[in-house]
Homo-oligomer: A and B are copies of this chain.
Amino acid sequence: MQDNYGNLISSLAETNEKRIAMLVLDGLGDTDNNGKGTALQIAHTPNLDKFAGKAALGLHHPVMAGITPGSGPGHLGLFGYDPLIYQIGRGVLSALGIDFDLKKGDIAARLNFCTLDDDGIIKDRRAGRISTEKNRELVKKIRDNLQIKDVKVFIETESEHRAVLILRGEGLTDEAGDTDPQHTGSKPLDPTRSPYGESKTANIARQIFDQIREILKNEQPANMILSRGFACLPDWPTFGERFQLNPAAVAGYPMYRGMARLMGMKLFSEAKEPANILEDTLIALKDHDFVFAHFKDPDKKGEDGSIEEKVKVIESMDKALPALEKYMPDALIITGDHSTPAPMSAHSWHPVPLMIKTTKLRGPFEKKFDEYTAAKGELGIITAKEIMTLAMAHTGKIKKFGA
C-alpha cells in the first residue's frame, strides 16, 4: 500500500545534533466525569502547566475521528506510521505483547486454551479462563512432548487462557487457517483447509495441534488449544531509517517494548516509575537523538474507572518533571497514545491532548495543559502521524519540500 506521506518524510529527513523526547502518558485523554472535569483538569500539575506555556498545544486523533485504538495502532500513530496503512497481524501483536524477540521470517499466532467435549466439540473457547500458573504448567508439558522437525516451535504463556505460538524456519508464510471457529458447538477447524493446503505453515500447524490434542487429552478443563491470526513480522522501514534518528526506548511493559522493538528502537530501560523513567530518558538522550519514554499508569487507572487514581498518577509524573530541566530536549513531546476516560473504564476515540515544548512557536500560549486548552492551541486537531513531523520541523531535522 502506498504511503505518500511517509515516503515524503523519509526523503526530507536529515540528521543534526538536536534531541527529541516523546513522553507517552498512556491513556491520558479523558471525558468530563459528569461535570467534575477531565483528569488533567482536576489534577494539580504546575509543571505540565508551566511547560504548556512554552509549547505548541493541540489534540490528536491516534487513527481518525471515531476510531478507538489498541496500544499497537495508538503507538504506530505516535511513531509517525499511519495505522490505516501499517497494520499488525494478531499473532505479531501477541508476540510483541510478551516481549518475544520476533525475527524477520518468524510466524506468530495467538493461542487460546479451550475445552473440548468427548466428541471433540468445543464447549468453552477459554477453558474456564484457567490461571496463568496453570497455563505455564500446560505450556511446559506441551514443550516437553511436542516433536516437530524442520522448524523451531516456541509456545509461550501470555496470561490466563492466552498463549502465543511462534514458528521459526525456512519457507514459512502467514498462510494458515485459524483453527478457532470463534464460536462453541463445532470442532476446531483444520489449518490446512482450502486455500491453505500447500502451505508449509499450515501443515506444520496441523502437526502441532494434532500432537497437542494427544498431549492434553487427560487435562481438564484445558484439553486443547485453538489458534488465530497467523502473521509474520512486517517488513517496514525502521523508525531510524524513516526519520534519520538513532532511537532508544524507556518502557517498562512488554507491549511497549514490543512496539519499540518492532520499530527498530534500542531497548534502553525498563523503568516504570516517573522519576526513573525521566532519569533514564535523560541518560539515553546522551547517546540517542530520539527517546520514547512510556508511562503506563494513567491508562491502568482509567481502565479501572478510578478518576481519583488517574489524577494521582498524573500528579506523580508532574512532580517528577522538573528533572528534565537539567537537560531539556530540544523538542519535548508530551501526549498519550489514546484516551482512556475514567467514566468509560476503556480506551476511547476522543482526541488526545498534546504538547510539543520547543522553540519557533506561534502561540497562543496557555499556561494550562488539559483537553480544553489543547483544543484551542496552535496545532488544532491533527492526526498522530503528524506529531513526529512537527517535532522534526521544530528541531530543524526536516528539509524544505520542493524548491
Contact = CB atoms under 8 A, between A and B. Distances in A.
Interface of A: 1-2, 4-5, 8, 12, 30-32, 38, 59, 63-74, 83-85, 87-88, 90, 93-94, 97, 255, 341, 343-344, 346-351, 360-364, 371-372, 375, 378-382, 386, 388-393, 398-403
A402 B360 contact: no
B83 A401 contact: yes
A126 to B, nearest CB: 16
Contacts of A84: 4-5, 8
Contacts of A87: 402
B1 A403 contact: no
28 contacts: A1-B2, A1-B4, A4-B85, A8-B84, A38-B362, A65-B390, A66-B386, A66-B388, A66-B392, A66-B393, A68-B393, A68-B401, A69-B401, A69-B402, A70-B403, A72-B403, A73-B402, A74-B402, A87-B402, A93-B402, A93-B403, A255-B403, A344-B360, A348-B393, A351-B380, A362-B371, A363-B372, A380-B381
Nearest to A382: B65
Given A64-B386, A380-B381, 18 more contacts: A4-B85, A30-B362, A31-B360, A31-B361, A31-B363, A64-B389, A65-B379, A66-B386, A66-B391, A68-B393, A68-B399, A68-B401, A70-B403, A73-B401, A74-B402, A255-B403, A344-B360, A347-B400
B71 A402 contact: yes
Contact of A375 (B343, B378, B403): B378
Contacts of A4: 1, 84-85
Contacts of A65: 379, 382, 386, 389-390
Query: Interface centre among A90, A347, A403, by most B CB within 10 Å?
Result: A403
A392 B402 CA distance: 27
